[in-house]
């Protein structure tokens, strides 16, 4: 009887931990991805301030700021040509969307890509593309999941200790 009570308490505890932990794990994954996108938007927006107003007409070389971590910055002219920085020669979907005047984000080939338009006189004259390897975000998510799993295992272990005492207390009258 004692083992059945102990098993029931542990099963309920494990089920509660899993039902709480899985949505939390997915929320953490979404949060870390969103944080990466916001950071890339901030990097790209900061880089737009280094593009001179006369960029479209002067042909002056543009020096993009140094990006943090493994972020790559690139500047594309209105004709889709890579002008400065590190990025693919062909225009990707987020860059194309940014030429429409909006900030765009997409994961392409294991890279999180954000494109921010550079406007002059209400028209888009260039786009700044910021990209980060998705593996950086994935590693951060995995570390968080490992911590969550360790905490869950600790909670189940504590529940096992409490369940053992409770099971003994509850089964004593029945055994007698």
pLDDT for 59: 67
pLDDT for 6: 83
Determine contact, residues 125/119, Cβ cutoff 8 Å: yes
pLDDT for 133: 96
In this structure, the number of other CB atoms found within 10 A of the CB of residue 129 comes to 27
pLDDT for 176: 65
Vertex 135 angle, CA 132 and 138, to 5°: 115
Q: What are the angstrom distances between the C-alpha of 56 and each of 61, 78, 143, 151?
A: 11, 8, 45, 55
Per-residue pLDDT of 25-72, as tens digits, reads 999 999 999 999 999 999 999 999 888 877 767 767 788 888 777 899
CA-based max dimension of the chain = 95
Q: How far apart are CA 159 and CA 167, in angstroms?
A: 11
Q: Can you give the pTM of this predicted structure?
A: 0.82
Show Cβ contacts of residue 46 under 8 Å, excluding neighbours closer than 6 positions: 65
pLDDT for 115: 97
Mean pLDDT of successive 10-residue stretches along the chain, which has 176 residues: 82 91 95 96 92 73 82 92 91 95 94 94 90 96 96 92 83 71
Question: How far is CA 144 from its chain centroid?
Answer: 12
pLDDT for 87: 92
pLDDT for 65: 85
In this structure, the number of other CB atoms found within 10 A of the CB of residue 147 comes to 11
Q: In this structure, is the dihedral angle defined by the CA atoms of residues 79, 81, 85 and 91, taken in order, positive or negative?
A: positive
């Amino acid at each position: 009887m004692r083992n059945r009570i102990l098993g029931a308490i542990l099963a309920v505890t494990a089920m509660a931990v899993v039902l709480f932990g899985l949505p939390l794990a997915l929320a953490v994954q979404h949060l870390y991805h969103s944080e990466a996108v916001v950071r890339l938007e901030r990097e790209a927006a900061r880089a737009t301030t280094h593009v001179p107003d006369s960029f479209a007409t002067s042909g002056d070389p543009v020096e993009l700021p140094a990006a943090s971590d493994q972020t790559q910055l690139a500047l594309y002219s209105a004709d889709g040509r890579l002008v400065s920085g590190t990025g693919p020669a062909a225009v990707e979907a987020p860059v194309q969307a940014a030429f429409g005047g909006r900030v765009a984000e997409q994961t392409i080939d294991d890279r999180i890509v954000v494109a921010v338009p550079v406007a002059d006189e209400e028209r888009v004259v260039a786009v700044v593309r910021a990209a980060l390897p998705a593996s950086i975000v994935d590693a951060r998510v995995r570390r968080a999941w490992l911590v969550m799993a360790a905490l869950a295992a600790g909670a189940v272990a504590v529940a096992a200790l409490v369940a053992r005492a409770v099971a003994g207390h509850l089964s004593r009258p029945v055994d007698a």
